[in-house]
Amino acid sequence: MLATFRFNEMMIRSGKKGLLAGALALSLLGGCQKASNKNERPVAKKVEAMTLASTSHIGKETLSAYGFFKGNLSDLQPADRVYPYELNTPLFTDYAHKKRFIYVPEGKVINYEDKEALDFPEGSVLIKNFYYPNDFNNPELGKRIIETRLLIKEAKGWKALPYIWNKEQTEATLQVAGGETEVAWVHDNGENMVTNYIVPNMNQCKSCHVFGQDIAPLGPKARQLNRNNVYAEGEFNQLAYLAEKGVLKGLPEAHAIPKVAVWNDASTGTLDARARAYLDINCGHCHNPSGPAKTSGLDLTVFASTAMERGINKPPVAAGKGAGNLNYDIVPGHPEHSILLYRMESVDPGVMMPELGRGLVHKEGVSLIREWIEKMPMQ
């Protein structure tokens, strides 16, 4: 935490000129997350937000200023034109829970897309709130919201903005350089857990949302949104609900809409379907033919059609520490010899994948991928 305190002092002294340097410093800090289990549940520390000069030219300075929620802000009750949504298989972020919403301006509509993210009109905002229930087994014991990330569609494209919540849970403030905080909770299995949670800076947000030369949403794709959700009027398919509300146009017949499996629900798909859905959302945003990791030759989206694209018996483009002295990305029947699993099991900043967004090993996700490789037929 000493580095964080020094960083705050640097930012206060340097003002606007420190923005670029601050973002760079935070990106270096971002790879140093650590987590552990405690015998006694620790008290969560406050977010070490990076205080900068006015950011009004970048975005609204507070979350409440947008008017996305009504009543108490922390209740996250959507206002008009704000629609909740969930994903079939979401991205793992150190076990954080998420509440997601789409804001669409009056008089505008979303155009359906079959493969990539839906085509949102200018002025749309994707709102993702990251929070931890105090006890994962008892939501009545309350929660702590850490951050809200906004993805705003402007005339020139998407803009990503991170907002950090105060300890009173009454407001979230724009912090372009991100921040960090210690978070504690009781896990599903009853263990007391703690992690040093990193709120990404604006540049880090962009790095995960690159598609070709542009920023693009990751989650709101037809295959992810094709599921039921509960609304004030009842339970409906999310895409059908948006179409009925006049917010989404071009929706095909139900049988023609793609759908990915739920990674941890065997009733929704085969082991192969669930594993590939997990890799699609957690890895496919970089490892695809148009992503920032395209030079690896590895395509971890659900659309990869050949064994080589998926990494089966494929040697890495670059060896070294990240490969762990292993020879192939995936070795059927041998997860212990597979670079993919090796990197998923690591928290070393020079090895782990994904590179951003986690400081913990997703044990359940690792278990799924290990079983998938173990049972994979020989090629």
Provide the pLDDT for residue 296. 86
Q: Is residue 272 part of a domain?
A: yes
Q: Could you give the CA distance from residue 178 to residue 351 in angstroms, rounded to a whole number?
A: 23
Which residue is it, tokens 């789409």?
Answer: 102
Query: Are residues 200 and 298 located together in one domain of the fold?
Result: no
Provide, rounded to the nearest whole percent, the portion of the chain with pLDDT above 90: 70
Provide the pLDDT for residue 286. 87
Mean per-residue pLDDT over the chain, rounded: 85
Query: Are residues 315 and 168 located together in one domain of the fold?
Result: no
pLDDT tens, 91-124? 999 999 999 999 999 999 999 999 999 999 999 9
Q: Is residue 261 part of a domain?
A: no
Name the least confident of 32-41, 86-95, 196-205, 246-255: 32-41
Q: Who wins on pLDDT, 377 or 277?
A: 277
Query: Are residues 179 and 101 located together in one domain of the fold?
Result: yes
14-24 mean pLDDT? 37
Q: Is residue 260 part of a domain?
A: no
The strand pairing partners of 237, in sequence order, are: 228
Query: Are residues 142 and 218 located together in one domain of the fold?
Result: yes
351-358 mean pLDDT? 84
Provide the pLDDT for residue 212. 57
Query: Are residues 140 and 274 located together in one domain of the fold?
Result: no
Query: Are residues 115 and 153 located together in one domain of the fold?
Result: yes
Give whichever of 244-258, 320-334, 347-361 has the largest mean pLDDT.
244-258
Provide, rounded to the nearest whole percent, the portion of the chain with pLDDT above 70: 82
Query: Are residues 333 and 233 located together in one domain of the fold?
Result: no
218-235 mean pLDDT? 96
pLDDT tens, 293-310? 888 889 999 999 999 999
- pLDDT band of 354, cuts 50, 70, 90: confident
Whether 202 shows a pLDDT value over 80: the answer reads no
Query: Are residues 222 and 314 located together in one domain of the fold?
Result: no
Q: Is residue 81 part of a domain?
A: yes
Contacts of 228 (CB under 8 A, 6+ apart): 235, 236, 237, 238
Query: Are residues 189 and 217 located together in one domain of the fold?
Result: yes
Q: Is residue 243 part of a domain?
A: yes
Give the domain range for residue 301: 266-374
Whether 58 shows a pLDDT value over 90: the answer reads no
Query: Are residues 241 and 330 located together in one domain of the fold?
Result: no
Query: Are residues 49 and 107 located together in one domain of the fold?
Result: yes
Q: Is residue 257 part of a domain?
A: no
Q: Is residue 379 part of a domain?
A: no
pLDDT tens, 68-100? 999 999 999 999 999 999 999 999 999 999 999
Which of 249, 280, 303 marks a domain boundary? 249
Query: Are residues 227 and 311 located together in one domain of the fold?
Result: no
**What's the per-residue H, E or C state across the chain?**
CHHHHHHHHHHHHHHHHHHHHHHHHHHHHHHHCCEEECCCCCCCCCCCCCCCCCCCCCCCCECHHHCCEECCHHHCEECCCEEEECCCCCCCCCCCEEEEEEECCCCCCEECCCCCECECCCCCEEEEEEEEECECCCHHHCEEEEEEEEEEEECCEEEEEEEEECCCCCCEEECCCCEEEEEEEECCCCCEEEEEEEECCHHHHHHHCEECCEECCCCCEHHHHCCEEEECCEEEEHHHHHHHCCCEECCCCHHHCCCCCCCCCHHHCCHHHHHHHHHHHHCCCCCCCCCCCHHHCCCCCCCCCCHHHHCECCCCCCCCHHHCCCCECECCCCHHHEHHHHHHCCCCCCCCCCCCCCCCCCHHHHHHHHHHHHCCCCC
Q: Is residue 113 part of a domain?
A: yes
329-339 mean pLDDT? 97
176-198 mean pLDDT? 95
Q: Who wins on pLDDT, 147 or 2?
A: 147
Q: Could you give the CA distance from residue 142 to residue 44 in angstroms, rounded to a whole number?
A: 14
Provide the pLDDT for residue 204. 65
Whether 189 shows a pLDDT value over 80: the answer reads yes
> How many distinct structural domains can be found in the chain?
2
Which of 218, 249, 280 marks a domain boundary? 249
